[in-house]
C-alpha cells in the first residue's frame, strides 16, 4: 500500500510540483520530469478525442442534464505501478503514482487536492501557474502520506 510519487501539472502542461515519497520508481532528472509532464498533458488531450462513442443525437435544449464531455485518461495501469490522474475543473492535473493494488486512491487524491487548495492557493506569495515552493504544503503532504506508506 505504497504511494510512490506525486506530480502536479498546470493548465499549460508545465510541471509545477514533483515529489517522491517512497522507492519503487526510477529516479529521473528534473529535465526528464518536465518532458514527462508535457508528454502526459498532450496524451491526455488526445485520449479525449479517441472516444469511440461519439454521441450525434443532440439532446433537446430543454433538458436539464447535459451529457458529460469526454474525459481524458483517468487511470493508467502497468505491471509495477498504477498512475491515477485527477483533472480539476480549473485544468490542473494531479498525477499520483501508487502500487497497482492501492485501495482508496480517490480519497487520497481528494485529500491532496484539499491540501493543495489550502496551503498553496491561500498563500499570498504563490503566483498562479508557477512552480509550487510552499514549505507548509510540503510539510503537510509528507505528514499525510508518510503514515499511509508505513502502514
Count of residues in contact with other proteins, rule CB under 8 A: 46
Among positions 19-38, residues that touch other proteins (CB under 8 A) are: 25-26, 28, 32, 36
Distance of CA 105 to the CA centre of its chain: 11
- Give the count of beta carbons closer than 10 Å to the beta carbon of residue 65: 6
Q: Given candidates 30, 53, 65, 89, which one binds other proteins under the rule CB under 8 A?
A: 53
Among positions 121-150, residues that touch other proteins (CB under 8 A) are: 122-125, 133-137, 139
| Side-chain-facing half-sphere of 19: CA atoms under 13 Å | 21
From 19, 36, 21, 37, select the one nearest 135 (Cα to Cα): 19
Are the C-beta atoms of residues 50 and 42 closer than 8 Å to each other?
A: no
Q: Given candidates 23, 30, 57, 101, which one binds other proteins under the rule CB under 8 A?
A: 57
Q: Which is nearer to other proteins, 17 or 137 (CB)?
A: 137
CB-count exposure of residue 38 (10 Å: 0-12, 13-18, 19+): middle
From 105, 89, 136, select the one nearest 6 (Cα to Cα): 105
Task: Please report how close the Cβ of residue 1 comes to other proteins at its closest, in angstroms.
Answer: 18
Quick check: 104 binds other proteins (CB under 8 A)? no
Q: Given candidates 17, 21, 40, 116, which one binds other proteins under the rule CB under 8 A?
A: 40
Quick check: 88 binds other proteins (CB under 8 A)? no
Q: Given candidates 96, 119, 141, 145, which one binds other proteins under the rule CB under 8 A?
A: 119
CB-count exposure of residue 37 (10 Å: 0-12, 13-18, 19+): buried
Interface residues toward other proteins, by CB under 8 A: 25-26, 28, 32, 36, 39-40, 42-43, 46-54, 56-57, 68, 70-81, 97, 118-119, 122-125, 133-137, 139
Amino acid at each position: 500500500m505504497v504511494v510512490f510519487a506525486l506530480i502536479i501539472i498546470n493548465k499549460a502542461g508545465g510541471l509545477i510540483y514533483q515529489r517522491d515519497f517512497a522507492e519503487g520508481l526510477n529516479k529521473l532528472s528534473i529535465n526528464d520530469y518536465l518532458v514527462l509532464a508535457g508528454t502526459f498533458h498532450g496524451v491526455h488531450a488526445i485520449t479525449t478525442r479517441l472516444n469511440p462513442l461519439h454521441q450525434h443525437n443532440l439532446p433537446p435544449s430543454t433538458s436539464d442534464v447535459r451529457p458529460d464531455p469526454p474525459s481524458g485518461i483517468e487511470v493508467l495501469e502497468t505491471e509495477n505501478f498504477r498512475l491515477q490522474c485527477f483533472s480539476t475543473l480549473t485544468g490542473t492535473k494531479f498525477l499520483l503514482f501508487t502500487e497497482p493494488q492501492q485501495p482508496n486512491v480517490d480519497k487520497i487524491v481528494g485529500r491532496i487536492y484539499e491540501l493543495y487548495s489550502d496551503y498553496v492557493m491561500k498563500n499570498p506569495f504563490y503566483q498562479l501557474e508557477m512552480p509550487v515552493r510552499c514549505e507548509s504544503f510540503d510539510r503537510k503532504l509528507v505528514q499525510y502520506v508518510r503514515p499511509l506508506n508505513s502502514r
